[in-house]
């Protein structure tokens, strides 16, 4: 019964947040910054035939990018996230774990789980970008979040806890956690020619994920407090996205 409840919660949140993410991006993410009004005004001045022709080309590019934003779907990224989760879950099952009860071992597992899962999402996001131009920051963050939602659909569905309350808390919070941490990965990959930025995004994702895992393991009031942690990460991503515009 616990597995069924968790799988249902995970599916609802993953697919629901994917729809919200896509709608949010289509409303504002595909619109290029600046509006382009100044360029058109300059082209309408007398004697500006050459400028008008140049502006026509630039305007066509803006319209094309805007239309692409309206049509943008993050389903491919979502499916790559699902694939990454299957690989990580199967690898985890094959390797197995030992020394589950020692505090040091538990904390090591908390960090190892965060590192392997974020690395898996980073690989999935990188595969999505093969032979594509580097995306704008807002699109990159949204694409990363979509990978995280796909990853959560598989990874979180198999989580089982003895306490129903803890199961419900994790079922509600783990899905947005994966979206937020993968959003940082997307931000890092928005500029592939800057390896330091990729590493910074990965470090932020791993630290946030490890902190969440530690709070869930600690239980008590720490478990519901993960909402604050995830909210802070989401707020930071939103600020980065808006600043990039």
Q: Are 6 and 64 in a shared domain?
A: no
Judged against a pLDDT cut of 50, whether residue 194 lies above it is answered with: yes
Q: Which of 42, 71, 100 is the last residue of a domain?
A: 71
Same domain, 16 and 55: no
200 and 79 share one domain: yes
Final residue in a domain of this structure, among 48, 71, 94: 71
pLDDT of amino acid 230: 96
Give the residue numbers spanning the domain of 126.
2-29+73-244
Same domain? For 193 and 88 the reply is: yes
Q: Is 73 helix (H, G, I), strand (E, B) or coil?
A: coil
> With 90 as the cut, is the pLDDT of residue 109 above it?
no
Kindly state whether residues 141 and 235 are assigned to the same domain. Answer: yes
Does 60 share its domain with 85?
no
Range 178-203 burial, b when 16+ CB lie within 10 A, else e: bbbbbbbbbbbbbbeeeeeebeebbe
Do residues 38 and 126 both lie within one domain?
no
Count of CB atoms situated within 10 Å of the CB of 240: 16
Last-in-domain residue among 16, 50, 71: 71
Whether residues 157 and 172 fall in one domain: yes
Q: Are residues 63 and 126 in the same domain?
A: no
Is there a single domain that holds both residue 61 and residue 142? Answer: no
Mean of pLDDT over the chain:
78
Q: How far apart, in whole angstroms, are the C-alpha atoms of residue 116 and residue 176?
A: 18
Provide the domain count of the chain: 2
**Could you report the per-residue pLDDT of 219-241, keeping only the tens digit for each?**
888 888 999 999 999 999 999 98
**Whether residue 47 sits in one domain with residue 22:** no
pLDDT computed for residue 61 by the predictor: 45
CA-CA-CA-CA torsion sign (191, 210, 125, 145) = negative
pLDDT-derived band at 39 (thresholds 50, 70, 90) equals very low
Q: State pLDDT tens for residues 2-24.
A: 667 777 878 888 999 999 999 98
pLDDT tens for each residue of 115-170: 999 999 999 999 988 767 777 899 999 999 999 999 999 988 776 555 566 767 87
Residue 146 and residue 194 in one domain:
yes
């Amino acid at each position: 019964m616990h597995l069924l409840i968790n799988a249902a919660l995970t599916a609802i949140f993953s697919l629901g947040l994917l729809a919200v993410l896509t709608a949010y991006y289509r409303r504002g993410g595909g619109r290029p910054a600046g509006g382009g009004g100044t360029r058109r005004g300059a082209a309408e001045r007398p004697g500006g035939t050459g400028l008008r022709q140049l502006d026509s080309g630039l305007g066509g590019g803006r319209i094309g990018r805007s239309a692409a934003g309206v049509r943008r779907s993050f389903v491919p990224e979502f499916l790559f996230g699902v694939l990454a989760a299957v690989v990580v879950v199967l690898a985890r099952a094959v390797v197995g774990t030992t020394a589950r009860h020692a505090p040091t071992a538990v904390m090591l597992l908390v960090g190892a789980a965060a590192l392997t899962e974020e690395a898996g999402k980073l690989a999935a996001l990188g595969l999505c970008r093969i032979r594509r131009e580097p995306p704008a920051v807002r699109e990159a963050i949204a694409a990363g979040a979509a990978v995280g939602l796909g990853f959560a659909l598989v990874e979180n569905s198999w989580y089982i806890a003895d306490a129903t309350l803890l199961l419900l808390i994790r079922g509600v919070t783990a899905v947005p956690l994966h979206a937020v941490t993968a959003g940082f990965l997307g931000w890092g990959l928005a500029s592939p020619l800057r390896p330091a930025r990729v590493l910074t995004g990965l470090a932020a994702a791993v630290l946030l994920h490890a902190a969440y895992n530690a709070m869930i393991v600690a239980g008590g009031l720490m478990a519901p407090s993960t909402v604050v942690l995830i909210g802070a990460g989401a707020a930071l991503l939103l600020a980065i996205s808006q600043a990039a515009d």
